[in-house]
Amino acid sequence: MHVDDWSFYAGKPVLITGGCGFIGSNLALSLVAAGARVTLLDSMIPDYGGNLHNIAPIAEHVRLNISDLRDPHATEYLVRDQEVIFNLAGQVSHIDSMRDPVTDLEINAKAQLKLLETCRRVNPGARIVLTGTRQIYGRPRYTPVDEEHPVEPVDVNGVNCVAGEWYHLLYHKVYGLPAVILRLTNTYGPRQLLKHNRQGFIGWFVRLVCEDREIQIYGDGGQQRDLNYVSDVVRAILLAGQNERAVGRVYNLAGDTPISLKDLTEAMIRIAGRGRYTLVPWPEEKKRIDIGSIWCSYARIKEELGWQPLVGLEEGLEKTFKYYTNNLEKYLGPVDI
Amino acid sequence: MHVDDWSFYAGKPVLITGGCGFIGSNLALSLVAAGARVTLLDSMIPDYGGNLHNIAPIAEHVRLNISDLRDPHATEYLVRDQEVIFNLAGQVSHIDSMRDPVTDLEINAKAQLKLLETCRRVNPGARIVLTGTRQIYGRPRYTPVDEEHPVEPVDVNGVNCVAGEWYHLLYHKVYGLPAVILRLTNTYGPRQLLKHNRQGFIGWFVRLVCEDREIQIYGDGGQQRDLNYVSDVVRAILLAGQNERAVGRVYNLAGDTPISLKDLTEAMIRIAGRGRYTLVPWPEEKKRIDIGSIWCSYARIKEELGWQPLVGLEEGLEKTFKYYTNNLEKYLGPVDI
């Protein structure tokens, strides 16, 4: 039986960029529970994932700093004296990256490069854990996708995320910064953005189910994906922050078994006890950049850090819908509270 | 016997970014000879390759526009109504990219993305030929390196060049922009920057030989490279600009046979009739990012566009030293004339 030990973090100063977002806030809850001294950096850009309700349970136990990773002066001040930097801030909408590609570059590439330059100058010993995305693999040449799979991004966001990753690896190789890369797959659970449908399908499907509105699935719904419940992703991030073996490494996260979008939607509807769906033809512009079925392998992180997902889809969806049943209005926007 | 036909370009409006640089100016000479209506965009940044002496023979036959690719307004104006855009502008010093990584990103990634956005809006039908670099392959897993070799950049310049390339391919796939990528290997010949040693070894070695100063080669000089004489690179660029088959493709350029740095240096000294060299131990910081021997395959561009190098090393070096013997003072800086 696997038991995680987070005592490494007790009393340690740590920074979470994107700390009010979906994964950042869940991570913050765990770090506060572990006794870390937690600073949250979040830009609170309205269309992004930051939501003060996410951190309500720990509001008295963290230092909240609203600033943008693109602001080099604020970032430099916050980076000093941290022992671990959990670098989660990003523009994560593929759609937005095509509508406003330069902003995506500014956040996902340029601000990352500046953060690393800052760390090199003022805090080169801080562990940096970057949460990347398996989306950079593009249309998979084989499944499950391992870390040796070529990266072939299919949108501007993917290109900039690759650049952001590679800067981290380069600053490790050339300057010795102890950076770790996690490539996340589809993550779901409490505290996810539901305000709009431009940050991936899962949050949006959850919202439509909660509101008993019709989900539209493109094609026959046979495209397969793997999923991770957010607490499993948080465990991987914590392991990456404390394990010496992780330094300079790239790890995929992944689910245990892929599931088709149709089966996933049916599971959501069954567990939530509401919602419905219909199959609709592929819109031409979406079909053009669709990557088909994809799922990844977590063999490397299991071997090296002892991580594997512990929360199955049934349990994860139950927790997810329970959370949103009690908190839905906090996630409907447009104004964050 | 291979005969190139450049009548495609007669009367056509074409833009060369980086048009006063090494390859850009050689390309401009060929395009003027072919009867094209040539606009040159060059920032004339002192440490970069732009040099007005390069275009002296065609000064009356081109439109010279001194502006920076990072200036979106000037660029938009110049891009309108062009039929072919030869996109050669870039920060090409690996050393400078580590000293000032954000400037490298601004030029090699962000300005490229903005150029493509501009083309998409105001001139989506223009052919775009990007000159990338084989440097993005990093330390080769096998030789000769073909276009399927994974890209694994070893410095900030490499990361940003990959991003710049991928934006071009993406704008082709998603918006249909007719972009072509050439990955250049070590290029030499007349009009190359000799002012400093931060843009690759070849220009610097040529200068030291011309000035009869000692060349220092790291290690045993056994590292192998392939080279292209600049007129062969210009031919590849012209083919990429006119051949329908090239659209959306990535092509390596490469030399016929790799040569060790020691043998290359000895050939330079023999042909120039002056110069000398010594072997010195690897400086630690250079050793760390050295990629060892590398040479590429030009099989794909030979198959698809009929290109192969025509100028051998002996002939190329003779032309090179003849040019600099007559023009050396124009390449010693610091002030361009």
Give the one of A98, A110, A153 whose C-beta lies nearest to B102's C-beta: A110
Q: What is the mean pLDDT of chain A?
A: 95
Q: What is the pLDDT along chain B (337 residues), one digit of tens a residue?
A: 467 899 999 999 999 999 999 999 999 999 999 999 999 999 999 889 999 999 999 999 999 999 999 999 999 999 999 999 999 999 999 889 999 999 999 999 999 999 999 999 999 999 999 999 999 999 999 999 999 999 999 999 999 999 999 999 999 999 999 999 999 999 999 999 998 888 889 999 999 999 999 999 999 999 999 999 999 999 999 999 999 999 999 999 999 999 999 999 999 999 999 999 999 999 987 787 788 999 999 999 999 999 999 999 999 999 999 999 999 999 997 644 3
B226-262 CB burial, b ≥16 within 10 A, e <16: bbbbbbbbbbbbbbbbbbeebeebbbbbbbeebbbbb
Domain containing A237 equals 7-190+227-255+294-311
Hey, is the C-beta of B139 within 8 angstroms of any chain A C-beta?
A: no
The answer to whether position B3 is within a domain reads no
Q: Which of A18, A130, A165 is nearest to B163 (CA)?
A: A165
Distance CA B91, CA B249 (A): 23
Amino acid identity for residue B4 in this structure: D
> Taking a contact as any Cβ pair under 8 Å apart, which residues of chain B between 111 and 130 contact chain A?
113-114, 117
Number of Cβ within 10 Å of residue A276's Cβ equals 12
The answer to whether position A325 is within a domain reads no
The answer to whether position A48 is within a domain reads yes
User: Both ends of chain A: CA-CA distance in Å?
Assistant: 40
Partners of B164 on chain A (C-beta within 8 Å) are none
**CATH number of the domain bearing residue A84:** 3.40.50.720
B147 contacts B300 by C-beta, under 8 angstroms: yes
Contact at CB, A288 and B174, closer than 8 angstroms: yes
Partners of B117 on chain A (C-beta within 8 Å) are 101-102
For A128-187, the pLDDT digits (tens) are: 999 999 999 999 999 999 999 999 999 999 999 999 999 999 999 999 999 999 999 999
Contact at CB, B170 and A163, closer than 8 angstroms: no
Tell me the residue ranges of DSSP E strands in A9-142: 13-17, 37-42, 62-66, 84-87, 127-133
**What is the pLDDT at residue A334?**
65
Q: Which of B52, B10, B51 is nearest to B30 (CA)?
A: B10
Residue B276: beta bridge partners?
B214
Contact at CB, B166 and A150, closer than 8 angstroms: no
**What is the pLDDT at residue A25?**
98
Hey, is the C-beta of B101 within 8 angstroms of any chain A C-beta?
A: yes
Amino acid identity for residue B110 in this structure: K
The answer to whether position A327 is within a domain reads no
A289 contacts A282 by C-beta, under 8 angstroms: no
The answer to whether position B2 is within a domain reads no
pLDDT band at A336 (very low <50, low <70, confident <90, very high): very low
Distance CA A44, CA B38 (A): 48
The answer to whether position A270 is within a domain reads no
Hey, is the C-beta of B95 within 8 angstroms of any chain A C-beta?
A: no
Chains A and B form CB pairs within 8 A to the count of 71
Number of Cβ within 10 Å of residue B181's Cβ equals 24
The answer to whether position B1 is within a domain reads no
The total of structural domains in chain A comes to: 1
A10-24 CB burial, b ≥16 within 10 A, e <16: eebbbbbbbbbbbbb
Contact at CB, A102 and B110, closer than 8 angstroms: yes
For the four alpha carbons of A114, A117, A118 and A119, in that order, the dihedral sign comes to positive
Question: Structure pTM?
Answer: 0.93
Backbone dihedral angles phi then psi of residue B293, each to the nearest 5 degrees: -80, 145
Amino acid identity for residue B253 in this structure: L
| Min distance B284 CA to chain A CA atoms (Å) | 11
Q: Judge whether residue A285 has pLDDT over 80.
A: no
The answer to whether position B337 is within a domain reads no
Partners of A159 on chain B (C-beta within 8 Å) are 163, 166-167, 170
Give the one of A113, A159, A166 whose C-beta lies nearest to B102's C-beta: A113
Q: Judge whether residue A117 has pLDDT over 90.
A: yes
- φ/ψ region of B291 (left if φ > 0, alpha if ψ in -120 to 50, else beta) reads alpha
Hey, is the C-beta of A166 within 8 angstroms of any chain B C-beta?
A: yes
For A195-243, the pLDDT digits (tens) are: 888 888 999 999 999 999 999 999 999 999 999 999 999 999 999 999 9
B28 contacts B58 by C-beta, under 8 angstroms: yes
Distance CA B285, CA B269 (A): 28
Contact at CB, A110 and B113, closer than 8 angstroms: no
**What is the pLDDT at residue B46?**
87
Q: Judge whether residue A303 has pLDDT over 60.
A: yes
Hey, is the C-beta of A289 within 8 angstroms of any chain B C-beta?
A: yes
Hey, is the C-beta of A291 within 8 angstroms of any chain B C-beta?
A: no
Give the one of B105, B114, B162 whose C-beta lies nearest to A110's C-beta: B105
| Min distance B46 CA to chain A CA atoms (Å) | 24
